[in-house]
Chains A and B, each alone.
Chain A
């Protein structure tokens, strides 16, 4: 294994019937000797030859890349094949993809989770394969799943390595067949060429011979100047089936003899069924079975409409607890009391400490305080949660759109007492994810229903009301600040206390040079379940910190862009992104009456994003006319795909900033559908301009980093236009209260 740790390897071997298999893996449970036949059994079909754990070469010399991540719109089913194909010198026009089955050998987790290394990986080891795996483990500590992770980990480390390994193995096979040195053979557009002897042949001709050769221990990756596909905007592979209706989402699963189910869970999280009166429902046409799900009830019927109608006539009573009395106002009151108590009793949970924030505050010329609030938010993916399950022959098969298919497989196996190899997951297109489809609650319900009707496939689809009221929510948070300014208005002390901390750890940390900082948090649990929501903690903390720094600039009497800029002298990379956004937007340009600009920035998932908003407050309500977005993600694989992710992240964050508000009454979620959980639509969607900065720094994410800065950019613009500081989202809470300047 040479320099490698015993946990990171490229495994290669011969397939039954010939052919070559190369796997890139990490983990104690996967041994090279076991990997080959296992993978071949799962992935090889027809006359395809499996050349690599992530790639197949077909007899017609076209290439199929096997992608172990879910497509939920982030373009990963295209970006990952691009990375592999580039390293392989493949002909992009012949590259297609298929999604990997939910099997441990495709587990993205296994790329990294068995390699535990605290701290940063030194840059010097990144060029080695061991280095890239160590780097993967570092990234894993930031986020275990989700779109921002796929390209950085699986792509950078798995796909590129696999593509390079496959290319080297094919070249070695050609060298043997042609009896020339491997160094004289070049790969181009899925062909191998030996220029001196004028010989050329397609990759496919060498697949079987390559299988008998030893795989490379350390394939050489390209440098960015050698990229041919990475860095180019290519058409996404998943778009054609999404314009003619043929793309298969979870709701589209159709199996012979399938029945349909509608469900309704307890409105108050944590309650369980006391009694079910289903007498009326059982007599309704098409109804097959009423199922007690313990935390709710389901109806299985011949058609989905019959199930939906019958469900409405099922009467259920649930257990009650103190949670049944909680309302949004009471919850924020509880947060505030718990925060007060933590400070009064010295029970602050330290998050980040530098210098002496409280001591310095006392010596400040000017003390600024503010309290901010954000509400719970639901994901509201366009496709409501759904799952089709079929219990038969001692096993369970499950069809759903899942962000974490392998974790779901383990969860179902444990929950229902199956061996894992008796649980088969068929993952399909996700009609939106945003973090929601990492959770196994809807697959669990699907299997509960299928268990009630063994041998018959059952398709369960949540109503939109169920989807909004049975979500796992972006945390509602209070965040309090105290800052001290010196006589020039420069901050010398920064204290921040907030409710609850999830991931990523650095979300509340500021990039600004303030010598004395005390950032701490207080737990204040409620019965409302937490779920990762696009950018997770960054979405709220960017609003808090970027609003408060804006407040400090106002108190100091300084321009908010230049105030930030001056505090970023030690962060030239961030400052460059901020400058780019300001320049794009023509910061300080003259604008119509009641128009203004707002600026904000946040680094998340290794990508720095700054945004400037042009806002029109002439109607008294915010109308975001244009968003200028500058982003440094190190290196962008597919520029148009990255721009689309920024656009998407901005609109997603704008919806939250303007309208997003999930509230509690008597312990239950009040909002139910798109009429009272409003979305940005075509008529209030801003123009968006995106500038990509390829700094060459380690690669950052794309799916999430566009979201965090938009809310503070909007509220900072509202302040600039009206003088009114928005400290509680959404802005719709404040309609009509703006004083026009």
Chain B
């Protein structure tokens, strides 16, 4: 039995400790937005946040994140405090970023983490933060444009929008 805090919910899961976090999130917690792409941390489709840092969940044994705060694509809208979508998600719609869409959860998670760290990234900082995420439909130009407009949004209207979700108010859920 391992305990994880996923999207502000305490989860107790009966799973083998070497199981990658990806499959725990998807198949045990049924949070299907996080995707399997390569299994060796080469494509970024499985990106989630662990204590606010983007990681590749396909190579992260669940045992290594016990007790840590995990955020998936399903959990980021909360951080915008009241709006339905995170500003990055809205920017993705405004720029019509997604084509097949399979990589986009991972792209958005990398972008959110970038802007939390650095609300005003320049082109090379965006390149550095985002080049671990493959988009086979090749929407890199739109991803970059969306990150820039989300960055503007953050600065102009919602200075606190990128704050990490608070640890208070954690619900409990037993999947054991």
Contact = CB atoms under 8 A, between A and B. Distances in A.
Nearest to A383: B102
B153 to A, nearest CB: 15
B43 to A, nearest CB: 5
A652 B140 CA distance: 12
A648 B99 contact: yes
Nearest to A254: B30
Contacts of B26: 252
Contacts of A374: none
B89 interface: yes
B42 A252 contact: no
Contact of A673 (B40, B73, B85, B137): B40
Interface string A668-695: 0000011100011111010110000000
A243 B27 CA distance: 20
B89 A644 contact: no
B96 A239 contact: yes
Given A245-B33, A674-B42, A431 B100 contact: yes
B130 A242 contact: no
- Most A CB contacts (10 A, CB to CB) among B33, B108, B132 go to B33
A246 B33 contact: yes
Interface in B1-57: 15-16, 18-20, 23, 26-27, 30-40, 42-43, 45
A715 interface: no
Interface residues of A, number: 63
A732 B130 CA distance: 22
Contact of A285 (B16, B20, B40, B98): B16
Given A244-B73, A683-B127, A647 B138 contact: yes
B139 A644 contact: yes
Interface in A640-683: 640-641, 644, 647-652, 654-655, 673-675, 679-683
Contacts of A247: 101
A673 B96 contact: no
Given A382-B134, A652-B136, A682-B133, A239 B92 contact: yes
B42 A429 contact: no
A246 B33 CA distance: 6
B141 A648 contact: no
B96 A245 contact: no
A484 B74 CA distance: 63
A351 interface: no
Contacts of B100: 72-73, 381-383, 429-433
B131 A682 contact: yes
A435 to B, nearest CB: 13
Interface string A146-168: 00000000000000000000000
A682 B99 contact: no
Contacts of B138: 647-652, 654-655, 680, 685
A738 B32 CA distance: 46
Interface residues of B, number: 59
Interface in B58-106: 72-74, 77, 85, 89, 92-93, 96-105
B130 A682 contact: yes
B93 A251 contact: no
Contacts of B93: 235, 239-240, 243
Nearest to B130: A682
A683 B128 contact: yes
Contact of A679 (B31, B97, B134): B134
Nearest to A459: B27
A683 B15 CA distance: 38
Interface in A608-661: 640-641, 644, 647-652, 654-655
A464 B99 contact: no
A244 B74 contact: yes
Contacts of B72: 245
Nearest to B146: A243
A305 B19 contact: yes
A304 interface: yes
B154 interface: no
A679 B89 CA distance: 24
Q: Determine which residue in A238, A240, A384, A644 has the highest number of CB atoms from chain B within 10 A of its CB, and name it.
A: A644
A303 B40 contact: no
Contacts of B34: 245
Contact of A640 (B18, B23, B96, B102): B96
A249 interface: yes
Contact of A243 (B16, B38, B92): B92
Interface string B99-135: 1111111001000000000000000001110111111
A260 B138 CA distance: 31
A358 interface: no
B140 A239 contact: no
Given A240-B93, A673-B38, A685 B99 contact: no
- 5 closest cross-chain pairs (CB), A and B: A245-B33, A651-B138, A73-B99, A431-B102, A242-B101
17 contacts: A236-B96, A242-B98, A243-B85, A244-B73, A244-B77, A251-B35, A251-B36, A304-B27, A305-B19, A381-B102, A432-B102, A432-B136, A647-B138, A647-B141, A681-B134, A682-B126, A682-B143
Given A247-B101, A464-B43, A685-B141, 12 more contacts: A235-B96, A245-B72, A249-B35, A305-B23, A382-B37, A382-B134, A383-B35, A383-B102, A431-B102, A648-B138, A650-B138, A651-B138
Interface of A: 72-75, 235-236, 238-249, 251-252, 254, 260, 285, 303-306, 380-384, 429-434, 461, 463-464, 640-641, 644, 647-652, 654-655, 673-675, 679-683, 685, 687-688
